[in-house]
Amino acid sequence: MTSSTRRIERALISVSDKTGLMDLARALSAAGAEIVSTGGTAKAIADAGIAVVDVSQLTGFPEMMDGRVKTLHPKVHGGLLAIRDNSEHANAMAAHGIKPIDLLVVSLYPFEATVAKGANFEDCIENIDIGGPAMIRAAAKNHDDVAVIVDAEDYPGLLDALKAGGTTLDFRRKLAAKAYARTAAYDAAISNWFAEQLGDPAPAWRAFGGKLAEALRYGENPHQNAAFYRSPERRFGVATARQVQGKQLSYNNINDTDAAYECVAEFDPARSAACVIVKHANPCGVAEGASLEQAYCKALACDSTSAFGGIVALNRTLDAEAARIITEIFTEVIVAPDATDEAIAIVGAKKNLRLLLAGGLPDPRAPGLLVKSVAGGLLVQSRDNAVADDMTIQPVTKRAPTDEEMRDLVFAFRVAKHVKSNTIVYAKDRATIGIGAGQMSRIDSARIAARKAQDAAKELGLAEPLTKGSVVASDAFFPFADGLLVAIEAGATAVIQPGGSMRDDEVIKAADDAGIAMVFTGTRHFRH
């Protein structure tokens, strides 16, 4: 087949999303194309005074079984699949009264949206499209002759093609590629929903799909290509956010903003304001306070050097007071559920600062899947939705923590969940004062976190290290007492950790010998 232009003489339209439908139908009609349609789409076109042939007139069969059977017919699929310059195909069409279909426009039943709104099992099943994907795949396979559109965003390109006299092969191939991607993503959403309904954590086949949100300038590094895709999951964050201002987000911005917003969601906004500052996917400062301004100042004090050029995530509506102080230093992104008009105006003075309003906070308890690529495969796991408030925290030392220590311990463990392993977090007054992240040994994380706290104390002009009288959290158990001894030497008075080491008794004894309190959570928070 050559790259010849194909005139559109007959189009079949069946869309659940009627966006742009009337403009498209009018243009097709004006170009002399016959329009065949189904159900509600046919009615909408007819009501607009545009000539339309109901698909039942084409097939000779009525829509039946509540609309489940309407386009699954040789006169539809033969019209889509017939190769125009193949004499055998042409003879078959003539023998059976099949007319060619030059354009297929389909938007599938809204399965993803039905699941997202919490519909029951039966309603979700009824919103699985059968005829639509079958037609899409048929038309896409025969793209040498047939154009297929699955997205209203492609209507303008089609209208331009109509004005030019028809569709080019290059245009049809691009539409076909998009069509197969759409049915793949659609089937992926269905199969993953089924696995969730069945409680199957490891189905024999896994597929994931998403729709392009935007092509990015580059990936982690300038020589890498990248793009951002939205998945069917409806979770507040970067994917739901409205970017109020600032230049385009980069790959690293999106990754870091997601890390910051997931962390700040651990802190109930009804209880207190919270701020998380992230640099290179790790929190460098986290704090709770009576206001966002106070929480930010406490978080910044943990590591003001690393906070420069960081991501700031907030758990409440950004107000003017917080906006003023956050914009005093260079910040890449501010993300919050919402913002006041005054705060938006203040941030607006920094033209390159991105402000994202996510519309809500993600639920840290919600289930979900995390996917990571490895050579030749995918690693898939359920989201770490264990929340410190739900854990049975058990004192294991002779001295139990005080109420104040316990508040800080729970705070520190919430933060440790979102720091790369191995993780050590020192905290005091519901604010981090030292964070050790991503080290090969836990003792190194403990040393780095203590050193960070010392640096912060010097910057604040304090004579004593901030770790004196602090608490410490470890994302996983202490395999030896050495890491704990570093924390004790730094001045920590209480420790929270999962427990479960073969040397737990040795670690507990070291805590008792130092007179500090230790609690076990029974839950590990590795994050790689």
For 249-294, what is each residue's pLDDT tens digit?
999 999 999 999 999 999 999 999 999 999 999 999 999 999 999 9
On whether both 174 and 92 belong to a single domain, the answer is: yes
**d(C-alpha 145, C-alpha 399), whole Å:** 79
Q: What is the mean pLDDT of residues 197-205?
A: 91
From residue 377, how far is each of 14, 228, 371, 455 by CA, in Å?
36, 20, 10, 43
Residue 442 belongs to some domain of the structure: yes
Q: Which of 141, 211, 350, 468 is catalytic?
A: 141
Contact 183, 209 (CB under 8 A): no
> Is the bond into 422 cis (omega within 30 degrees of 0)?
yes
Q: What is the mean pLDDT of residues 496-509?
A: 96
Contact 435, 282 (CB under 8 A): yes
- Note the pLDDT of residue 57: 76
Tell me the pLDDT band of 225, cut-offs 50, 70 and 90: very high
Sign of the dihedral defined by the CA atoms of residues 502, 504, 505, 510, in that order: positive
Phi then psi for residue 521, to 5 deg, are -100, -25
280 a catalytic residue: yes
Using the predicted structure, report yes or no on whether residue 313 has a pLDDT greater than 90.
yes
SS3 121: helix
On whether both 88 and 168 belong to a single domain, the answer is: yes
Short-list 172, 120, 114, CA closest to 146: 172
- HSE, CB side, 13 Å, CA atoms: give it for residue 37: 28
- The number of helix segments (H) and strand segments (E) in the chain equals 19, 21
On whether both 324 and 401 belong to a single domain, the answer is: no
Structural domain boundaries, residue 86: 10-197
On whether both 338 and 397 belong to a single domain, the answer is: no
Q: pLDDT by residue (tens digit) across 345-359?
A: 999 999 999 999 999
SS3 136: helix
From residue 157, how far is each of 174, 194, 403 by CA, in Å?
11, 36, 65
Q: What is the mean pLDDT of residues 379-403?
A: 96
Q: What is the residue-wise DSSP string for 189-247?
A: HHHHHHHHHHT-SS-S------EEEEE-S-SSSTTS--EEEE-S---SSTTT-EEEESS
On whether both 51 and 179 belong to a single domain, the answer is: yes
Q: What is the mean pLDDT of residues 216-230?
A: 95
- Note the pLDDT of residue 55: 81
Phi then psi for residue 223, to 5 deg, are -85, 0
Q: What is the mean pLDDT of residues 280-309?
A: 96
DSSP state of 339: B
From residue 74, how far is each of 135, 144, 250 by CA, in Å?
11, 19, 48
Residue 210: Cβ within 10 Å count:
17
Residue 365 belongs to some domain of the structure: no
Burial of 150 (0-12, 13-18, 19+ CB in 10 A): buried
Contact 38, 71 (CB under 8 A): yes
Short-list 247, 302, 312, CA closest to 279: 312
Using the predicted structure, report yes or no on whether residue 68 has a pLDDT greater than 80.
no
**d(C-alpha 523, C-alpha 517), whole Å:** 18
Residue 370 belongs to some domain of the structure: no
On whether both 63 and 190 belong to a single domain, the answer is: yes
Residue 461: Cβ within 10 Å count:
6
Q: What is the mean pLDDT of residues 153-180?
A: 93
- HSE, CB side, 13 Å, CA atoms: give it for residue 427: 33
Residue 95 belongs to some domain of the structure: yes
Kindly report which listed range (10-19, 92-101, 266-275, 495-504) carries the lowest average pLDDT score: 92-101
Report the chain's mean pLDDT, rounded to a whole number: 93
**d(C-alpha 471, C-alpha 375), whole Å:** 40
**d(C-alpha 432, C-alpha 302), whole Å:** 6
SS3 372: strand
On whether both 429 and 508 belong to a single domain, the answer is: yes
On whether both 183 and 252 belong to a single domain, the answer is: no
- Note the pLDDT of residue 423: 96
pTM above 0.85, yes or no: yes
Residue 160 belongs to some domain of the structure: yes
Short-list 268, 253, 440, CA closest to 334: 253
On whether both 51 and 191 belong to a single domain, the answer is: yes
Residue 301 belongs to some domain of the structure: yes
Residue 363 belongs to some domain of the structure: no
Tell me the pLDDT band of 67, cut-offs 50, 70 and 90: low
Residue 174: Cβ within 10 Å count:
15
Q: And the tokens for 341?
A: 């008009």
Q: Name residue 502's amino acid.
A: M
Q: Domain boundary at 142, 171, 197, which? A: 197
Q: What is the mean pLDDT of residues 212-226?
A: 95
On whether both 287 and 352 belong to a single domain, the answer is: yes
Return the percentage of the chain with pLDDT > 70, whole number.
98
On whether both 458 and 506 belong to a single domain, the answer is: yes
- Note the pLDDT of residue 4: 82
Using the predicted structure, report yes or no on whether residue 1 has a pLDDT greater than 60.
no
- Note the pLDDT of residue 64: 65
Q: Which of 99, 174, 211, 280 is catalytic?
A: 280
- Note the pLDDT of residue 95: 86
Tell me the pLDDT band of 2, cut-offs 50, 70 and 90: very low
Q: What is the mean pLDDT of residues 387-414?
A: 97
**d(C-alpha 67, C-alpha 224), whole Å:** 47
**d(C-alpha 69, C-alpha 58), whole Å:** 14
Which alpha helices (H) appear in 48-168, and where do they start and end?
A: 55-59, 74-81, 87-96, 111-116, 121-126, 131-141, 155-164
141 a catalytic residue: yes
* Most confident of the following: 45-59, 174-188, 452-466: 174-188
Short-list 484, 480, 519, CA closest to 499: 519
Indicate which CATH number applies to the domain containing 119: 3.40.50.1380
- Note the pLDDT of residue 93: 81
Using the predicted structure, report yes or no on whether residue 3 has a pLDDT greater than 60.
no
Indicate which CATH number applies to the domain containing 315: 3.40.140.20
On whether both 19 and 164 belong to a single domain, the answer is: yes
Tell me the pLDDT band of 472, cut-offs 50, 70 and 90: very high
**d(C-alpha 95, C-alpha 201), whole Å:** 51
Q: What is the mean pLDDT of residues 500-509?
A: 95
**d(C-alpha 324, C-alpha 168), whole Å:** 54
Q: What is the mean pLDDT of residues 378-393?
A: 94
Contact 310, 289 (CB under 8 A): no
Contact 277, 331 (CB under 8 A): no
Q: Domain boundary at 357, 377, 406, which? A: 357
- Residue with token string 């699949």: 81
The count of structural domains within the chain is 3
- Note the pLDDT of residue 458: 87
Residue 100 belongs to some domain of the structure: yes
